Amino acid sequence: MHSSALLSAHVPSPLDAPVPVARPFMPAAEAILPYLQRIDAKRWYSNFGPLLIELEARLAARFARPTLACTAANGTQALTLALLALNAKPGGLCLMPAWTFVATAHAAIQAGLVPWFVDVDPVTGVLDADHVRERLAHAPGPVSAVIPVASFGRPLDPAPWARLREDTGLPVVIDAAASFDSVSAAPVPTMVSLHATKSLGVGEGGFIASEDPAFITRFRALTSFGFMGDREARFPANNAKLSEYTCAVGLAALDQWPSTRTAYAATAQRLRMALLHTPQVVFQPGWGPEWVSSTCVVELPAGSADAVEAALRAQGVDTRRWWGAGCHTSRAFASCPADPLPVTARLASATLGLPYFADMALDQVNRVGLSLAQALA
Ligand SMILES: Cc1ncc(COP(=O)(O)O)c(C=O)c1O
């Protein structure tokens, strides 16, 4: 069917039930039950039990090269503990994109660092390693670490970041919070969030992937009181372990990942079709056919996001400015150094999260498509 015929099948009305921006998709109770019964049988509830070991092994097996995965209580803590595990020098700057979620900056501060907000590349919307090299030469203070961010689940080539680490000796951690589906290599430590709103969710959780066993050993100890096989606290640490119950959800989510992924990809394809004749709406490259995430984030003409958001709201179509005006604009980070950020400002004025979830009905997809086409007309 021609997409405009598909769209005209439904004329949106504000009286229609609102289309939510997201509906997290987690395994149902019956899918988790066999894992819960394993916990009952074993009576091992936390502290690196068999379900956690299995979950981490299955997460690690998704990587192309030999890689280890170590879980933590959430993605934010995983980032903090990764910076600590890499001995990022306290008090120094942590270079990061301004175009990120506030968790990236919070994590750096919790690791004793000061966020330094740098602008992203105008084409890719993520940090460019060559630009970072140039900025490092003009840093407003001693730099302790670098955090590139894989925006909204997109794949991020880790190779330039591994080279930057080798050349500068700086600790680098990749924040790939929403990139569960697209992360396939971790030559530098890479964090993936397992929050309920992510494509593979456990509720609250996250993991660090790395090819470096010594780093993973230290990271693991940092999630567990600084213990390394005995009861001595080797260094100041945290308790950021995942319980077996959380791992039960994670294992059930992995079991159904192939069908979850197909559902996300099919819905993404339908949204793309519904907006085929609205070229002002630019999807993330490869989103849908090549990789999936749990959000649909599009770029609109610069400066138009406010008006489009209001027009969609009037039609009962919910949207979200996931990263607001940029991380640097939050009051918590007002005293942190920031470069001039024209690209971040443009992206903030143009980026909109549209309704998108794995089991989105065709009718809801069409309402989003038609309301957006009208808003941009
Ligand atoms: C870019 C980015 N970094 C870090 C996080 C933090 O992950 P978590 O919610 O698991 O702490 C998020 C969460 O959405 C994120 O989007």
Condensed to tens digits (0 to 9), the pLDDT of residues 122-164 reads: 999 999 999 999 999 999 999 999 999 999 999 999 999 999 9
| Cα 363 to middle of ligand 1, angstroms | 31
Report which protein residue has its CA nearest ligand 1's atom 8: 75
| Cα 102 to middle of ligand 1, angstroms | 8
pLDDT digits (tens, 9 = 90+) for 36-60: 999 999 999 999 999 999 999 999 9
Measured from the Cα of 77, ligand 1's closest atom is 11
In one-letter notation, the amino acid at residue 123 is V
Using CB distances shorter than 6 Å, the residues near ligand 1 are 74-76, 100-101, 103-104, 149, 175, 177-178, 193, 195, 206
| Cα 71 to middle of ligand 1, angstroms | 14
Per-residue b or e along 71-96, where b marks 16 or more CB atoms closer than 10 Å to that residue's CB: bbbbbbbbbbbbbbbbebeeebbbbb
Tell me what the mean pLDDT of segment 82-89 comes to.
Answer: 98
Report which protein residue has its CA nearest ligand 1's atom 7: 75
Q: How much is the pLDDT for 6?
A: 43
% of the chain beyond a pLDDT of 70: 96
| Cα 201 to middle of ligand 1, angstroms | 12
| Cα 57 to middle of ligand 1, angstroms | 22
Q: How much is the pLDDT for 13?
A: 56
Question: CA 247 to CA 243: how far, in whole Å?
Answer: 7
| Cα 175 to middle of ligand 1, angstroms | 8
| Cα 193 to middle of ligand 1, angstroms | 6
pLDDT digits (tens, 9 = 90+) for 2-29: 444 444 445 555 557 899 999 999 999 9
**Ligand 1 test: best mutation among 21, 71, 74, 76, most atoms within 8 Å of CB?**
76
For residue 327 the two structure tokens come to: 């991380």
Contact 294, 24 (CB under 8 A): yes
Q: How much is the pLDDT for 1?
A: 37
**Ligand 1 test: best mutation among 193, 198, 238, 293, most atoms within 8 Å of CB?**
193
Question: Looking at the chain, which runs of residues are DSSP E strands?
Answer: 68-72, 93-97, 114-118, 143-146, 174-175, 190-193, 206-210, 282-283, 296-299, 351-354
Tell me what the mean pLDDT of segment 79-107 comes to.
Answer: 98
The tally of CA atoms less than 13 A away on the side-chain side of residue 189 is 31
Nearest to 285 by CA among 121, 61, 172, 117: 121
Domains of the chain: 3-25+256-319+355-376 (3.90.1150), 29-255 (3.40.640.10)
| Cα 202 to middle of ligand 1, angstroms | 14
pLDDT digits (tens, 9 = 90+) for 329-349: 999 999 999 999 999 999 999
Displacement of CA 14 from its chain's centroid (Å): 32
Q: Please state at what angle helix 305-314 crosses helix 362-376, rounded to 10 degrees.
A: 130
For residue 78 the two structure tokens come to: 């995983």
| Residue 84: strand, helix, or coil | helix
Q: How much is the pLDDT for 15?
A: 56
pLDDT digits (tens, 9 = 90+) for 258-308: 999 999 999 999 999 999 999 999 999 999 999 999 999 999 999 999 999
Contact 299, 351 (CB under 8 A): yes
Strands 114-118 and 190-193: unpaired
Report which protein residue has its CA nearest ligand 1's atom 13: 177
Question: CA 266 to CA 356: how far, in whole Å?
Answer: 11
Report which protein residue has its CA nearest ligand 1's atom 14: 177
Q: How many CB atoms lie within 10 A of CB 253?
A: 25
| Cα 76 to middle of ligand 1, angstroms | 6
pLDDT digits (tens, 9 = 90+) for 184-224: 999 999 999 999 999 999 999 999 999 999 999 999 999 99
Measured from the Cα of 198, ligand 1's closest atom is 14
Contact 75, 103 (CB under 8 A): yes
